[in-house]
Amino acid sequence: MRRTAAVWAGKATGVLSRFSRLGGGTTLPGDVARAIDPDVLRKLSRDLKHGAIVITGTNGKTTTARLVTWLLEGAGHSVVSNRAGANLIFGATAAALERAGANGRLHADWGVFEIDEASLERAVEEIQPRAAMVLNLFRDQLDRYGELEAIAKRIEAALARLPDDSHAVMNADDPRVAEIGLNLKRKPLWFGLDDPAVALHELPHAADARTCPRCGASLIFDGVYVGHDGLYRCPNGDFARPAPDLAATHIELNGFDSVALGVSGVRIELPLGGLYNAYNALAAFAAGNALGFEPAYIAERFRTVQAAFGRQERLEAKGRKLNVVLSKNPAGFNETLRTAVDLAGGHWFLIGLNDRRADGTDVSWIWDVDFERLRGRSRVVVPAGNRAADLAVRLKYAGVEAQPPESDPARAIDALIEATPEGETAHMLCTYTAMLDLRAELVRRGWAKPYWET
């Protein structure tokens, strides 16, 4: 009875908040239902016919969840997932609620939930997933999440509680993730990149996991792919990147258009750009592998996947192409910049920085982003968001010519459209709520669909 009441209360809130456009009804119903029945997610998860997959990590959760969901749906399964980037446990609850029937039962085969690093332990406990994926661990919103060390410990505690027959799918290239995996009793399913041709030779400025967890020596990186993810070893020989069970080779990067890689004897290609999406694809491939899907099926299915909301979302505006790319921390921003400037040859940019709770209230991290990459390459940069003034200073010290800071979303979009020639592509790299604000304005002008239709 309690569960049915909780489900109904949550569903009603979801409908109401979507009508009133109060943030789109992504977690509020979860809050309400959990207040009525704290066990509601545990009970709903038991209804899933085949079980659930949880995905955690600093970057790539949403896209990886989308890929895994795409695989499952292609095989005829019904999937419940927290799609709108609401990755707290309330978001997972809200997603399950939305699909629950009038009797308070959930009718779905699988659950695919992206879970905040900090909520993982509770999620594993309540959801009892068939697989848990750990994508990477980068510094992100230290004011909100705290230091990496503490986060890593919580993830380790969560994975130690996975059911015996579940899989831990983990990124071997990330020293912090590897440290967690090597401490576990179960053997993780390791994935990693194996292609020196796309590796950088030194760590970016904002690399975090630089030291050996065993002896404290500075790790030696023989190649760096994304952030501090790469091919690393301790000079004292007590810690090194685990050999991947699934390794991506012969990686091809084609701007924001596509990324291709070889794994397990098949060639995977997906219509999303950037080396970071090679990781997301490989992670999803590994999960598919653990669930028993054929490599050939996965390769075929990935060809037609679409970008998640605000992740390389392509729009048209007054004859210009807009590319909206969520960029929320130094590791992520460096990758989207690298993709936009080096791989896609972009010239027109809007950078959006907000300091609301979901973005992080401390904007110091913009000094760890290599905006220097834009110097001499960008033709126009519009600093936007409620901290546009800070961005303007950052760009000045990076030696990048920029327009005056513009905190008003409508005027920032006008400035970008005006500066971008017709037929050309403008890249909008934004933190989470800056992206929501700008997107709301794009929706208002009819240039983008509301997020619940994406």
Partner 1 sequence: MARHQKTFTVGWLYPDLMNIYGDRGNILTLLKRAEWRDFEARLIELGRGTTKRMDEVDVFFFGGGQDREQALVYEDLLEHKQPPLERAVAAGAGVLAVCGGYQLLGHYYQTGEGERFPGIGLIDVRTEAGTRRFIGDVVVDSALVDIRPTTLVGFENHSGRTYLGPKAKALGRVRVGFGNNGDDHTEGCLQGGVLGTYLHGSLLPKNPHLADHLIRSSLRRRGITDLAALDDTAELAAHEKILARSAR
Give contact residues for partner 1 (rule: CB under 8 A).
139, 142-143, 147-149, 203, 205-208, 210-211, 216, 218, 361-368, 387, 389-390, 392-394, 396-398, 405
Residue 238 contact among Zn ion, partner 1, none, beta carbon within 5 to 8 Å by kind: Zn ion
User: Under a CB-based contact definition with an 8 Å cutoff, are residues 181 and 245 in contact?
Assistant: no
Q: Where are the beta strands (DSSP E) in 104-202?
A: 110-114, 131-134, 167-171, 189-193
Cα→Cα distances 156→61, 132, 159, 161, 433, Å: 18, 11, 5, 9, 30
The reply on whether position 202 binds Zn ion by CB under 5 A is: no
CB of 156 to partner 1, least distance (A): 15
Identity of the residue, 222 or 362, whose beta carbon is nearer to partner 1 in the bound complex: 362
Stretch that binds Zn ion, among 64-72, 100-108, 206-214, 403-411 (CB under 5 A): 206-214
Stretch that binds Zn ion, among 16-24, 166-174, 217-225, 293-301 (CB under 5 A): 217-225
Cα→Cα distances 446→16, 307, 315, 406, 410, Å: 23, 19, 10, 22, 13
CB of 366 to partner 1, least distance (A): 7
* Distance (Å, whole) CA 358 – CA 370: 22
User: Under a CB-based contact definition with an 8 Å cutoff, are residues 373 and 337 in contact?
Assistant: yes
User: Under a CB-based contact definition with an 8 Å cutoff, are residues 8 and 105 in contact?
Assistant: no
User: Under a CB-based contact definition with an 8 Å cutoff, are residues 77 and 153 in contact?
Assistant: no
CB of 22 to partner 1, least distance (A): 24
The reply on whether position 212 binds Zn ion by CB under 5 A is: yes
Identity of the residue, 51 or 57, whose beta carbon is nearer to partner 1 in the bound complex: 57
**Residue in the block written with tokens 């972009």:** 346
The reply on whether position 220 binds Zn ion by CB under 5 A is: no
Please tell me what DSSP assigns to residue 307: P
The reply on whether position 209 binds Zn ion by CB under 5 A is: no
Q: Residue 192: CB partners within 8 Å, gap ≥ 6?
A: 171, 172, 173, 241, 242, 244, 246, 247, 248, 282
CB of 210 to partner 1, least distance (A): 5
Identity of the residue, 132 or 337, whose beta carbon is nearer to partner 1 in the bound complex: 337
Identity of the residue, 183 or 361, whose beta carbon is nearer to partner 1 in the bound complex: 361
Identity of the residue, 100 or 234, whose beta carbon is nearer to Zn ion in the bound complex: 234
Residue 234 contact among partner 1, Zn ion, none, beta carbon within 5 to 8 Å by kind: Zn ion
Identity of the residue, 397 or 452, whose beta carbon is nearer to partner 1 in the bound complex: 397
Residue 362 contact among Zn ion, partner 1, none, beta carbon within 5 to 8 Å by kind: partner 1
Residue 390 contact among partner 1, Zn ion, none, beta carbon within 5 to 8 Å by kind: partner 1
Biggest CA pair distance of the chain:
65
* Distance (Å, whole) CA 409 – CA 389: 14
Q: Is 351 left (phi over 0), alpha (psi -120 to 50) or beta?
A: beta
Cα→Cα distances 116→61, 150, 253, 382, Å: 9, 14, 29, 31
Residue 236 contact among partner 1, Zn ion, none, beta carbon within 5 to 8 Å by kind: Zn ion
Window 17-56: contact mask with Zn ion (x via CB under 5 A): ----------------------------------------
Identity of the residue, 117 or 195, whose beta carbon is nearer to partner 1 in the bound complex: 117
Q: Residues binding Zn ion: what is the number (CB under 5 A)?
A: 8
* Distance (Å, whole) CA 315 – CA 300: 26
**Residues in region 228-257 near Zn ion by CB under 5 A:** 234, 236, 238-239
Q: Where are the beta strands (DSSP E) in 342-392?
A: 348-352, 380-384
User: Under a CB-based contact definition with an 8 Å cutoff, are residues 383 and 357 in contact?
Assistant: no
Window 156-195: contact mask with Zn ion (x via CB under 5 A): ----------------------------------------
User: Under a CB-based contact definition with an 8 Å cutoff, are residues 340 and 427 in contact?
Assistant: yes
Identity of the residue, 208 or 359, whose beta carbon is nearer to Zn ion in the bound complex: 208
CB of 207 to partner 1, least distance (A): 8
CB of 130 to partner 1, least distance (A): 33
Q: Which residues bind Zn ion (CB under 5 A)?
A: 212, 214-215, 217, 234, 236, 238-239
